[in-house]
Amino acid sequence: MSELPAQLSEALRGWGDNPVAIELFSSGETVPVGASELRRRVREMIAALSREGVRRDDIVALFLENSIDYVTLILALLEMRAVPLFAKLEYRRTELSTLFRDLDPDAVIIESSYLHVIEPHLSGQGVIIREVASAGKSTLRPVVPVERHHAEAGFADLATSINCTYRGDGELLGSIATEAQYRLGAKVLQDGLQGCRGESMLFPLPLSHIFSLVGCLFVPLFQGMTGILARTVHPRLIFGALETLHVEHVTAVPEIYRLLLRSGKDTQRFPALRTFVSGGSVLHAREYDELTEAFSLEVLHGYGLTEFTPVSRNSRGDARRGTIGPVCEGVDVRIDNPDSTGSGEILLRSDALCAGYYNRPQVTRRAFRDGWFHTGDRGRFRETHLVFEGEIKETRKVNGVMVDLQEVRRAVLAASTAEDATVFLEGNAITALLKIPESVDIDKEEKRLRHVLVHQIAPYKVPRRIARID
């Protein structure tokens, strides 16, 4: 029996006067919502979704921008015991083809601007679009009623959500997140953060990421903290919000913190700031030092995966530069086949791990072996703290977002005249080196290839540099 919706409802009933959420728009405008208003919106959302045919156990794909509507929808679906499938607005033909083939949602709820992208992939799903009239004002409009209900009865007893991820095999996967994953993840993150009722957390991360869902949605909700959904990463607007809203905590990826550092603004004017929570990609020791010095706060960097987050995290009062922190309560970690330095693949074991990959039993069996989950990541222990050393699997992070190199390589080969291609991360972007005849004009090929790829894969996966292999 699920306890998560009841816990969330109880948290809102005892909330108090501070807002539950504040939406920070790219214009700088802020729109708050209180607990009673959010509870009313959730009740209305449940009624609206029920009228359109959404039922218990249905898989509902969400292609949405961060908004209070998005929070409302998540809470409504959880209470209905439908299963949200968290997808990304950046997905294009390659990702969408796999998503609708393997994850096969019963319904989709999408931004109106995205309908033309997703429409060719729809085949019997119910469709509800979100239309935005102005900041803070939007409506949900049904386009196609939900009539197919293909998930097995009782699926929601296993799955709280399905979260998109990769393992370097070239295809999108749906990780089945359990209630235990969310509850334990929120607990151990709070143990490290030590957030207090009445404080606030600003985050510019999409709620489609497990890191955001656990750390930026559930942690603040359970602790009575205001979540500030930043629809912008512009340093001027972020700094303005930190100052005027007296923000205590920020949760983001290292790339966003680097942007704030590069802004050159006076970073000492935020006396309320206590922590920068960091995850999603590597934070170097030098950057840790620069952030702590510039902002006079604690940087809490950690490590997790879509299959479970967090695995490890630094805690207030015990943060160590260059590490991803001690292993969290409820998680066992061992280093597989360590070399002479103690470095090897990070393996996990926990009762709260994901329940496998939806409709992909072979991939599930390869990932979960002998009671351990094989992360495909390399690391080692430095005393009690874990150190992340990079991916073994064929994935890399661009702005904290996972990119499957094999997926990109296949897309490049399908769209080009190349006999072969090598795809890798260079800096914070993807590079593709093509094996093509000397007679082919590489400049023209690059231009043509980019034009094709922007319709085939998410924009952040399109190679920034395309060159000929010497």
Domain end residue (candidates: 273, 295, 317): 295
Reference 374, options 344, 340, 351, 408; nearest CA is: 344
Looking at residue 205, what is its pLDDT?
A: 95
The phi and psi torsions of 267 (rounded to 5 degrees) equal -90, 5
CA distance 174 to 59: 12
Residue 150 belongs to some domain of the structure: yes
* CATH number reported for the structural domain that contains residue 418 in this entry: 3.30.300.30
Do 140 and 20 share a domain, yes or no?
yes
Looking at residue 137, what is its pLDDT?
A: 73
Residue 419 belongs to some domain of the structure: yes
Looking at residue 133, what is its pLDDT?
A: 75
- Domain range for 428 is 395-468
Question: Which residues of the chain are modeled with pLDDT < 50?
Answer: none
CB 186 within 8 A of CB 5: no
Residue 329 belongs to some domain of the structure: no
Do 94 and 202 share a domain, yes or no?
yes
Domain end residue (candidates: 295, 319, 348): 295
CB 144 within 8 A of CB 52: no
Do 267 and 159 share a domain, yes or no?
yes
Residue 340 belongs to some domain of the structure: no
Do 202 and 76 share a domain, yes or no?
yes
Whole-number CA gyration radius for the chain: 22
Domain count, the chain: 2
Looking at residue 282, what is its pLDDT?
A: 92
Q: Is 110 exposed, middle or buried (0-12, 13-18, 19+ CB in 10 A)?
A: buried
387 forms bridges with which residues in the sheet? 380
Do 145 and 258 share a domain, yes or no?
yes
Residue 309 belongs to some domain of the structure: no
Could you tell me the pTM of the whole model? 0.95
CA distance 30 to 85: 28
Do 137 and 258 share a domain, yes or no?
yes
Residue 348 belongs to some domain of the structure: no
* CATH number reported for the structural domain that contains residue 147 in this entry: 3.40.50.12780
List C-alpha distances in Å: 393 to 135, 167, 320, 397, 403.
41, 6, 26, 12, 11
Element (H, E) at 174: strand 173-177
Looking at residue 465, what is its pLDDT?
A: 95
Residue 377 belongs to some domain of the structure: no
Residue 363 belongs to some domain of the structure: no
Looking at residue 139, what is its pLDDT?
A: 87
Domain end residue (candidates: 295, 321, 343): 295
